[in-house]
Chains A and B, each alone.
Chain A
Amino acid sequence: MQIDFHYYATYCAAYLAGFSHEECMEICSSAQFTDCCSVTLLSGIGAPLSAATTQLQLEIMDAKADILSLQNITRIWASFHFLPRDLSADVPGGSGLYKNKYRLICGPDSDLLAATVELAKDKSLQAAGIAMHVLADTWAHRYFAGTPSMVINNTDYDFFELIPEGDSYTERRVTFRHNPSAGDDLEKSIYTNTVYQFSENSVMCLGHGRAGHLPDYSFIRYRYLPAWAGYEAVVKDNPSEYYNAFCQMIYAMRYLRGDLPAFEKGVYDTETAAPWEKEIRWILTKRQPDASADWKALGELLSGQEIPAFDTAPFTQDYRKADKADRDETVLGKFIIAALAQKSMVTNRIWKSGNLLAGYSVDYMQEGFRGLRDFQKLVEISLMNRQK
């Protein structure tokens, strides 16, 4: 997903869930900031680098092919953008290596999603924003894994866009090109994707790179042969999936607000969204590369307040100016703590399932502090909360 959904649609969902305009702004800003918080940004302000929630294109290109880099990539992308659906999925045949990759395939309504939303409960609004980013991406990035893998993420020429025509659809073959500076041509179904590289761990096969930007467009419907599905075609209907994502965000945020006693998988708050369903579906199906203007208009109609354009400056400026002791209380400070918690939790679940693709996890309560120093803050906060 892109800024239109992570920022403006998240604002709309938060408002419908009952948050005030100011709270909605904090939530949707953090949801969008998850796509901006890179090592490059963090190093510029002296923040812990382990809190990175994304990687810039050149950071990925520059990543080495050694095991530590691959684990770092997997931790970032599986924790925040491609939450695995089933870490114990049964895979007929295949080696352990293949199974580990297969089990990182992203999808909605997983145990990990429930754990993600529960982790944000009674935490900061920034934690809620991160959780909403993760939740929304489980719908958009379904069928792809947040680890470099050709056997999972590769695509081939059998890729068609389904164009609505009356009550049915016509198929149009998708043409992929590899020029990142050329925009997608929606009229001719010409999209940019990553270059085919014959290497299992090539970063060109990270996430949906080989399918281009298609999973991130709300209007699109497509049929393709995923590398992992044994030559069975998969149809992805983004307008329907994005609507589910929107309704599930409302439900999750009502839980985070304390309106609901528990968060259950597979529940979508269609009732709250119902009065606006027509408008939302209209935005979701409108053929355009960026739906920000339409979502912004809907958000402002809902709250009667202006939604300013997204800007990373408020995040970084306050953090830079704050004394070291007060940094945790800034917006970015809260975001960093929430990001570390999410990364730590997801890595632990993946590791516990016997899968080492995201690296090693050490349970502090059992083994004490042994590992990356950036996570010391997380331990201190957790111990402080226990004492309270």
Chain B
Amino acid sequence: MSYLQRVKSFMEGVGMLLAILILMLSDESGASWVVFILAISLILKGIRSLVYYFMMARFMVGGLTALFAGAFLIDFGILSISLADEARIYIFLYLAGWNAFSGLISLLRAWESYRNKGRSWILNTLYGIVNIGILICCFIFRDSPTTLATLYCAGLGYSGILRIINAFRRTEIVYIQ
């Protein structure tokens, strides 16, 4: 990673941890803040898609899709902000979808690693169990916006810490002639 990429990764991590702090201090309105963050992410994704179109996708066969996708995402993001009061269902869908997918992949990887006599199967099983555990919690606490927001914060914290660790990791490939 370049220095700029390291700084970016570090700042993103710190930003995520700060977001957790804000969400935890917001008590009841925490869930609305989560939806607000998700909506802003959608808008940013839409803007990224437009930038992507002008920088890369316009050279691609069928690249016009990026232009339409960008416009749609921005539109949907703005719509989501106006629906922040109905936060619970959005967080629930986001958490349930993400953890179901991650849990399944982790468990499949654990099985693959076990068959190949790899050592990572224990860690992968653990990841899978945690994901499935969060998924079950989502269903149990689906009517509690505060608990859903807390679960969201846990995921955010994990991503934030990973980004900070990545910023300090050795990544260079040594070359010798």
Which A residues lie at the B interface, using CB under 8 A?
38, 40-41, 43-44, 50, 56, 58-59, 61-62, 66-68, 71, 75, 93-95, 97-98, 101, 150-151, 154, 156, 198, 200, 225-231, 343-345, 347-348, 356, 358-365, 369-373, 375-376, 378-379, 382-383
Binding site for A on B (CB under 8 A): 1-2, 5, 9, 52, 55-57, 59-63, 65-66, 69, 105-106, 108-109, 112-113, 116-120, 162-163, 166, 169-177
Q: For residue B116, which residue of chain A has the nearest CB?
A: A40
A11 CA to B10 CA, complexed, in Å: 50
Partner of A371, one of B59, B118, B162, B174: B174
Chain A residues closer than 8 Å to B61, beta-carbon distance: 154, 156, 225-231
Using Cβ atoms and an 8 Å threshold, which residues of chain B touch A150? 57, 60
B119/A44 in contact, CB under 8 A:
yes
The docked-state distance in angstroms from the alpha carbon of A304 to that of B169 is 53
Q: Chain A residues near B120: list those with CB within 8 A.
A: 40, 43
| B174 & A378 in contact (Cβ 8 Å cutoff) | yes
Which residues of chain B have C-beta atoms less than 8 A from A61's C-beta?
105, 109
The A-B contact count (CB < 8 A) is: 148
Known: A58-B108, A344-B176, A362-B173. 8 other contacts (CB 8 A): A40-B116, A97-B55, A101-B56, A344-B173, A362-B172, A365-B176, A379-B174, A382-B177
Can you pick out 21 interface pairs between chain A and chain B where the beta carbons lie within 8 Å of each other?
A40-B120, A43-B118, A44-B116, A61-B105, A66-B9, A68-B169, A93-B59, A94-B55, A98-B56, A151-B63, A154-B61, A227-B62, A228-B60, A230-B59, A230-B61, A344-B173, A360-B173, A372-B172, A378-B174, A382-B176, A382-B177
CB of A361 within 8 A of CB of B173, answer yes
Which of B62, B163, B166, B170 is packed against the most chain A CB atoms within 10 Å? B62
Nearest CB of chain B from residue A364's CB, rounded to whole Å: 4
Q: State A66–B1 Cα separation when bound (angstroms).
A: 11
The residues of B that contact A98 with a CB separation of less than 8 Å are: 55-56, 59
Chain A residues with Cβ under 8 A from B69's Cβ? 198
Contact partner of A154 among B60, B166, B172, CB < 8 A? B60
Contact residues in A for B9 (Cβ distance below 8 Å): 66-67
Contacting pair B112 A40 (CB below 8 A) = yes
> Which residues of chain A have C-beta atoms less than 8 A from B119's C-beta?
43-44
Q: Are A227 and B175 in contact (CB under 8 A)?
A: no
Docked pose: A361 CA to B2 CA in angstroms: 11
B171 touches A372 (CB 8 A): yes
Q: For the complex of A and B, list the 6 residue pairs with the smallest distance between their C-beta atoms, beginning with the closest.
A: A371-B172, A348-B175, A375-B174, A95-B55, A44-B118, A364-B176
A5 to B37, CA, bound (A): 51
- Measured between beta carbons, the chain A residues less than 8 angstroms from B163 are 66
Contacts of A363 in B (CB 8 A): 175-176
Docked complex Cα distance between A364 and B171 (Å): 14
- A58–B55 CA distance with the chains assembled, in angstroms: 31
- Can you name the residue of chain B whose Cβ is closest to the Cβ of A224? B61
Q: Using A44-B117, A61-B105, A94-B56 as known contacts, say yes or no to A344 and B65 having CB atoms under 8 A apart.
A: no
Pick the residue among A66, A231, A360 that contacts B172 (CB under 8 A): A360
Q: B residues within 8 A CB of A362?
A: 172-175
List, in ascending order, chain A residues with CB within 8 A of B170's CB. 370-373
A40-B113, A56-B112, A66-B163 known; A151 and B173 CB under 8 Å? no
B residues near A66, Cβ cutoff 8 Å = 9, 162-163, 166
A362 to B176, CA, bound (A): 9
- Which residues on B sit within 8 Å (CB–CB) of A348? 173, 175
Which residues from A are CB-within-8-Å of B176?
344, 363-365, 378-379, 382-383
| A67:B5 contact, CB within 8 angstroms | yes
Q: A41-B118, A154-B60 are in contact. Are A375 and B173 (CB under 8 A)?
A: yes
